[in-house]
Amino acid sequence: MSTKRDADGSGESGLSVVDVAINRLKKRIESGEFTPGQRLPPETALANELELSRPSLR
């Protein structure tokens, strides 16, 4: 099964903004950047880090 990729190789082409946010958070969790029980960064900071608007992140 192939994954559709954007020009930047992210594979986020055609996904909703919500799906993009979920995928980006999953990658960070799977990489160990966030550990179980750890609080997420403040909403504004997380939106900036994920390159999403705050309303999209909510």
From the centroid of its chain, how far is CA 50? Answer: 5
Q: What is the pLDDT of residue 32?
A: 93
CB atoms within 10 A of CB 57: 19
pTM for the whole structure: 0.65
Q: What percent of the chain has pLDDT over 90?
A: 38
pLDDT in tens, 3-25: 444 444 556 778 888 898 899 99
**Cα separation values, 58 from 7, 13, 31, Å:** 27, 21, 22
Find the mean pLDDT for residues 35-42. 90
Q: What is the pLDDT of residue 10?
A: 58
